[in-house]
Structure 1
């Protein structure tokens, strides 16, 4: 009778059940490594293709790779090349795929899910589904109401009860938030209807639901200078706001007060990521093609010329060379792309070395960054004349303009420039999971959930009230409002 209630150990479970448990859970590559090191149950082969996989965990990593949306969109040759680039290690390949998937949204840290985004003079942070902001509240971009002009520390933004934020974007004057329901809220300047609200051109001082997107669940938003791009869960793209250069992708220069679908992108395949520059947009499809439209100035569209494109146009350099792009970043005057092999490409204005090729020459077409070819890049980030590249071991490389210390190199003056990628030694002690750079400041999140900022802090965009600026990373702390409220209730 007692045996009936004996608790079963993992050793008693059949290997196929352990496999099912591991593959249906949301395990990271790091979790799998820890399991493999912890128990022989996970380190053994268990007769599952012993000639091909070193362990059960190795087989689990293989299964999880093939369930990745990024990996499934790649052709067989691209998959083979990536496997070889990862040294035939399925766990490393999985780490790459998961990092890429998180690069345009939330990253999983030991302190919970987080995302950071930096705007002109402000910063927004998602931490465990709550949204915080700090810095200058120009035109209400911080979302705290008309009476708030500045927040010197990260302050939680009020949203409807039970609202869980899963992605945020903030550029110059406005911000947009995606909830787990797929609903989108916006706040900030709406003079060009960039917030997607037809009934007002005044600033939106508190987050407001974009009614025009009801019934169209979104997974990502990207805010430009005076426009916003919405990416639905079905891979369709909608745009609204100013359309001076055709950056809305509708074939004309007519402004749109509310989001309208970009019809040409409906025929190109499912879009997996979007990025918005000041007057142009980049979009990536599931088959690795990059489409650009809007302002052609500074060669940011990647077509070898500076003509405006009123409709989405595929960047032929990638297609001709069989390059499968997985993520893009749209800077103020240049652009960056990451391909399925972890290689980085830059194009646009080369001022101050923002393209990383050792000079300040413009690149009219995407050019591979040879100095990083030995690294497996997982995130690219471009903004004002500077670029950051995050590689799979958690190191960060930066290049471009060093104004205000926003490149993170304390041994160089604020007016210096770095024309080639250089690792940020000041962050070497940490494994960075995500990085975002604004006009003159930069914020990084580590795998432990720690937040570090550097650069200009004139308007408290680094979340500190006692600094004017930092030449090297300084830790930022976020007050846990929920915990404080619970403590108060118990007293």
Structure 2
């Protein structure tokens, strides 16, 4: 085999955003995740947070994703739904309140064509047009107006849903239906005008949204018309409706400040618009830079996201925004606690779009020590810094020379190193070597190892080697690099 392809190849087609984690769907049907993982929402079998994407374990043939709160939903091409993460209110729909850190199938649910998630609830649209919901029910689609929440442990059909539903949009206290005739219907809490029927009150039964027709996409209280115009209703405290005011609306108004739109994404207090020319625009709350215009100033008129072009799709959550570029690269902006932007480090926020990380290539063909690795570009995962026993107090870079069997491959400039805050040490082998001398070859025939080296001021080096599977699949395995610093233990981690 001459060369391998990175699992980080830029082939993303969709993004889904939870409160503190993010999912990336790739062309090959795999899903990758980043951010907080305390309840297993990343689906990688661990509870470790990540600041660069890791592969969701055991999933393939995924065609759609959704996320909210601290749980994740995955729709496979066969119409089955798989879930991971927090399940304290039955939002996974698996009949229990047990969290899952590896995706499991939702039982007795099939023929699903669309997913939706909000707070601690999940909803599913089936191919027959029926709508089902599970989790904490507090007014969504008109069920159980908030007071004492109704907890559903299994998907339950919404029996009064309209006929002919082709798409759904779910919020924490209400929901919208798009019908095959281009009309939109809503049920649930309407005190902020979010139902769009002009009443401003709760409705247990679906009511038709006023003023809109020929709608092709819905997101929260935003409606995209076939002609590229956008209509919006509901809360406008931060200017998220994009109409140049902060006046909330009980029924949709046309957003005259933007046109020629082909995709919308609206969650909480800001909104995103993708135009047919591939540019991305944003309006509303911008306290964490989620509008991507380089500021933290709220905007009541859509502003262009800096550098965004050739975009294909959008995703957003309360304080984050994402778009997928035509070449499959994902860009994120906004709140970056827990590393949920997937850019390799944690930060308060990012006010301009930053690309989610991918692997860096090194050439193995001319290295005599690489007799166990295939010739060609070896694509590694993302370097992350962490500390034993706690979180880092600084964000300084560390200069590292990477070697395989002590043969130098590439000096990585300090400015290219990325930071993280969690240790993940799995099945490592240890070798201690003197500087500039060959490290013992511990690999057995058919096994592959990647070795990391830190040369401390006293001239010695410590290595931590992670065994991975042989053959063409070796580069898909997580590789750990342990570094013993001369005065303070620290760790470096390859992950993907």
Partner residue in 1 for 2:152 = 204
By how many angstroms is 1:149 displaced? Answer: 3.6
Give me the whole-angstrom Cα distance separating, in 1, the residues matched to 2:421 and 2:194: 30
Q: Any conservation in 2 of the 1:334–1:350 contact (CA below 8 Å)?
A: yes
Q: How do residues 316-331 of structure 1 correspond to structure 2 at under 5 angstroms?
A: 316-318=256-258, 323-331=259-267
Cα gap change, 1:359 to 1:305, in 2 (>3 Å): same
SS in 2 for 1:404: helix
Match among 69, 80, 93 for residue 130 of structure 1: 80
Correspondence 1:408 to 2:342: yes
Q: Any conservation in 1 of the 2:80–2:112 contact (CA below 8 Å)?
A: yes
Partner residue in 1 for 2:315 = 381
Correspondence 1:140 to 2:90: yes
Match among 101, 113, 133 for residue 186 of structure 1: 133
SS in 2 for 1:287: coil
Give me the whole-angstrom Cα distance separating, in 2, the residues matched to 1:352 and 1:309: 25
Partner residue in 2 for 1:241 = 188
Partner residue in 1 for 2:450 = none
Q: How do residues 464-475 of structure 1 correspond to structure 2 at under 5 angstroms?
A: none
Correspondence 1:418 to 2:346: no
Correspondence 1:344 to 2:280: yes
Partner residue in 2 for 1:437 = none
Q: How do residues 81-480 of structure 1 correspond to structure 2 at under 5 angstroms?
A: 109=28, 112-128=61-77, 129-145=79-95, 147-160=96-109, 163-194=110-141, 196=143, 202-213=150-161, 216-265=163-212, 269-276=213-220, 281-318=221-258, 323-372=259-308, 375-410=309-344, 412=345, 414-426=346-358
By how many angstroms is 1:244 displaced? Answer: 1.6
- 1:12-62 CA-to-partner distances (Å, cap 9, x unmatched) read xxxxxxxxxxxxxxxxxxxxxxxxxxxxxxxxxxxxxxxxxxxxxxxxxxx
Which protein has the bigger strand share?
Answer: 2
Give me the whole-angstrom Cα distance separating, in 1, the residues matched to 2:494 and 2:273: 25
Unpaired stretches in structure 2, ≥5 consecutive residues: 1-12, 18-24, 30-59, 362-378, 380-419, 423-491
Q: How do residues 3-18 of structure 1 correspond to structure 2 at under 5 angstroms?
A: none
Cα gap change, 1:290 to 1:139, in 2 (>3 Å): same
SS in 2 for 1:364: strand
Give me the whole-angstrom Cα distance separating, in 2, the residues matched to 1:296 and 1:472: 44
Cα gap change, 1:176 to 1:195, in 2 (>3 Å): farther
Give me the whole-angstrom Cα distance separating, in 2, the residues matched to 1:427 and 1:211: 48
SS in 2 for 1:212: coil
Q: Any conservation in 2 of the 1:326–1:339 contact (CA below 8 Å)?
A: yes
Give me the whole-angstrom Cα distance separating, in 1, the residues matched to 2:268 and 2:241: 12
Give me the whole-angstrom Cα distance separating, in 1, the residues matched to 2:174 and 2:107: 24
Give me the whole-angstrom Cα distance separating, in 2, the residues matched to 1:428 and 1:313: 48
By how many angstroms is 1:109 displaced? Answer: 4.1
Q: Any conservation in 2 of the 1:193–1:257 contact (CA below 8 Å)?
A: no
SS in 1 for 2:307: helix
TM-score, structure 2 normalization = 0.59
Cα gap change, 1:237 to 1:428, in 2 (>3 Å): farther
By how many angstroms is 1:472 displaced? Answer: 10
What is the Cα-based RMSD across aligned positions, in Å? 3.3
Q: Any conservation in 2 of the 1:296–1:307 contact (CA below 8 Å)?
A: yes
Give me the whole-angstrom Cα distance separating, in 1, the residues matched to 2:493 and 2:269: 25
Cα gap change, 1:229 to 1:138, in 2 (>3 Å): farther
Cα gap change, 1:159 to 1:195, in 2 (>3 Å): farther
